[in-house]
A = this chain, B = another copy of it.
């Protein structure tokens, strides 16, 4: 069976940045080190860093001293400086830019619409910059239920969202009465590139395996792209989840991975499939 690997594999810039800042903090061995939520959405990496001493926490209310690393998804405006705690900001620089954008739009009187998933930490943090007033829209159905009422609207997207869904939602909003719609395409380049490569690969193989955290938004988008192309697809986090029966009757398999999936996890999976050949 032929194994074809997507063009875009390995950590993206923001994930690399967050992991490096965490490693650096850990290497200093300077008291307890926490991360606000999982530092990235990949269980293997979170476990590896946790083994080295990085403890994920939901909020810093109960913490009196130590170092807190803000995750790659950002922590919002709520996270204020606190005495005795050293803050390390590992927010992805691209996400940081969306935060600044949302902050500016809100202060300038725009109704802010965030295209993404309400429960995603990046979106939660972004909403924070609008005192919780931003409207989060996840799909075309939700968009159709909105009422813009001729207001000034500013639209951004979760950085790892689907480009197609983003454009579909904006097109729906454009058909409502508005005086101004300001659209920032804040889906990060890496996410767009991966979605594009996966689409091309999915058309060229008999089945797809997408590797990444089950909680990773951008990985899940890659799975959706494969489904869009009517291609059999399995979303796995590691080689142990692979089932030999998947490959029966298939001549080729495509492998893709999310922005927070380490290269070695992908390699383990390629090796495992190779053993079936």
User: Which of B174, B179, B180, B182 is close to A170, meaning CB atoms less than 8 Å apart?
Assistant: B174
CB proximity of A174 to chain B, nearest CB, Å: 6
Contact at B185–A178, with CB atoms within 8 Å?
yes
Residues of B contacting A178 with CB < 8 Å?
Answer: 183, 185
Measured as residues with beta carbon below 8 angstroms from the partner, the interface class of chain A is 10 to 19
Are A174 and B167 touching (Cβ within 8 A)? yes
- Digitize A177-197: 1 where CB-to-B-CB distance is under 8 Å, 0 elsewhere: 111111111000000000000
Among B175, B179, B182, B184, the residue within 8 A (CB) of A167 is B175
Q: Beta-carbon contacts of A153-186 to B below 8 Å, as 1s and 0s?
A: 0000000000000010011001101111111110
In the complex, the count of this chain's copies comes to 2
Docked-complex contact A180 and B179, CB < 8 angstroms: no
- Chain B residues lying within 8 Å of A179, measured Cβ to Cβ, are 184-185
Q: In the complex, what distance in Å separates the CA atom of A171 from the CA atom of B170?
A: 8
Q: Which residues of A contact B (CB under 8 A)?
A: 167, 170-171, 174-175, 177-185
21 A/B residue pairs, CB under 8 Å, sorted by A? A167-B174, A167-B175, A170-B174, A171-B171, A171-B174, A174-B183, A177-B185, A178-B183, A178-B185, A179-B184, A179-B185, A180-B182, A180-B183, A180-B184, A180-B185, A181-B182, A181-B183, A181-B185, A182-B182, A182-B183, A183-B183
Given contacts A167-B175, A171-B171, A180-B182, list 14 more A-B pairs with CB under 8 A.
Answer: A167-B174, A170-B174, A171-B174, A174-B183, A177-B185, A179-B185, A180-B184, A180-B185, A181-B182, A181-B183, A181-B185, A182-B182, A182-B183, A183-B183
